[in-house]
Amino acid sequence: MVSAAEMETLNLAREDLPPPRGRELTARMKPFLGTPINAVITLACMWLIFRLATGAWGWLVTRAVLEGGPQACKVGSGACWPFLAAKLRFMIFGFYPYDEHWRPAFAVILFLGAMIVSMIPRFWSRRLLWLWLAVPVICGVLMYGGVFGLPVVSTTNWGGLPLSFMLSSVGLAFGFPLGVVLALARSSKLPAIQVIAIVFIEVVRGVPLVSILFMASVMLPLFMPDGLTVDKLLRAQIAIIIFAGAYIAETVRGGLQAVSKGQHEAAAALGLGYWLSMRKIILPQALKIVIPPLVNIFIGFFQDTTLVTIIGLLDFLDTVRGSLRDPNWQGIAVIEGYVFAALVYALFSYGMGSYSRFLERRLKTDHDRSPAT
């Protein structure tokens, strides 16, 4: 007979022994693979990603046509890089005069510089308002010309990436304060202001952007006095600002409702008026809450600038389509053109998403932390 003390000693010794090799491997892989069904799904996804990656690498690199013209691309079975080399400037700048491409390029650099400065917290001040009032004017003068010896380039020749970038940037830069004002008006206790804000927001949000662009381009001139015309690009820009403002207003209003009532009571207890309490206490908290949905709106509007083609403006995606309609390249590099456009949109969208995550981390505060006892 084995005594109880001997049995306990044997059990302790068995626990000190290393697990079998198969169990040890399973234990290590379980956090990554989970249950057997999850393991099968994971391995199948990994295999699919591997096949897609190898196929993309072969099409982009190993089988790609690096030199030649349309005939070489017809014979090849990979990506046609000569198409991008031949049509890159048209896809980016559209019908803007070839010798003046430096002007829209410099305008885009100015816009990017203004955006980068606006994203750095140390530069957050009222001076940014003057920056965003000056940059669109400078870029407009630079692209239109007529001064400082620059030849005039009509807005009908503006197109490509600079047009898409400026329409979305200016639209959101001016649509954001409009949306904040509309959100405050809709949350107001004054019935007249509240009704006006509600009607404006619901009417604008109730129709698609295409309809507003069509109204701004076709219907608005019918109500203008004889001899008075408004540039088509300006009409499209105003339509985008109005549309963006309505959507931003509802998002900001959701943030205002998410701020606890105690914050309003605390501001009133401090003797702060409505505007001071909103500017110092309520609005900063509300905007911090709605950063993710606001970024979704920004990304969506950057991509929705492709709709301006309905009123005859050539945005970036439409210049890509125009390149594909070239008789010399027609039917040869369709995938390459759309892949290039997708990469450009994905790059800007990823940048905006990354910046929103940076803002969330920087502005994150823990209001639920209880004091140590």
The answer to whether residue 357 sits within a structural domain is no
Please, which residues have CB within 8 angstroms of residue 27's CB and are 6 or more apart in sequence?
19
The answer to whether residue 225 sits within a structural domain is yes
Q: Which pLDDT tens digits describe the chain residue by residue (373 residues)?
A: 556 555 555 555 555 545 555 555 556 666 666 677 877 888 888 899 999 999 888 888 888 888 878 888 888 788 888 888 888 888 888 888 988 899 999 988 988 888 888 888 888 887 888 888 888 888 888 888 888 888 988 888 888 888 888 888 888 888 888 999 999 899 888 888 889 999 999 988 888 888 888 887 777 777 777 767 777 888 888 888 999 999 999 899 888 888 888 888 888 888 888 788 888 888 888 888 888 888 888 888 888 888 887 777 888 888 888 888 888 888 887 888 888 888 988 888 888 888 888 887 877 764 444 444 3
Determine the pLDDT at residue 371. 43
Determine the pLDDT at residue 23. 59
Determine the pLDDT at residue 76. 77
* CATH at residue 239: 1.10.3720.10
Determine the pLDDT at residue 19. 52
Fill in the DSSP letter of residue 80.
B
The answer to whether residue 270 sits within a structural domain is yes
b/e string for 108-124 if b means 16 or more Cβ within 10 A?
bebbeebbebeeeeeee
Alpha-carbon gap, residue 319 to 335, rounded angstroms: 15
* Token pair belonging to 78: 């990979």
Count structural domains, the chain. Answer: 1
* Token pair belonging to 73: 């691309």
Determine the pLDDT at residue 299. 86
Q: List the domain range (segments joined by +) for residue 282.
A: 171-317
The answer to whether residue 175 sits within a structural domain is yes
Determine the pLDDT at residue 49. 93
Please, which residues have CB within 8 angstroms of residue 214's CB and are 6 or more apart in sequence?
310, 311
The answer to whether residue 307 sits within a structural domain is yes
The answer to whether residue 31 sits within a structural domain is no
What pTM did the predictor assign?
0.78
Report angle CA 72, 75, 76 to the nearest 5 degrees.
85
The answer to whether residue 266 sits within a structural domain is yes
Alpha-carbon gap, residue 209 to 216, rounded angstroms: 11
Alpha-carbon gap, residue 336 to 78, rounded angstroms: 10
The answer to whether residue 343 sits within a structural domain is no
User: Do residues 265 and 281 make contact, with C-beta atoms less than 8 angstroms apart?
Assistant: no
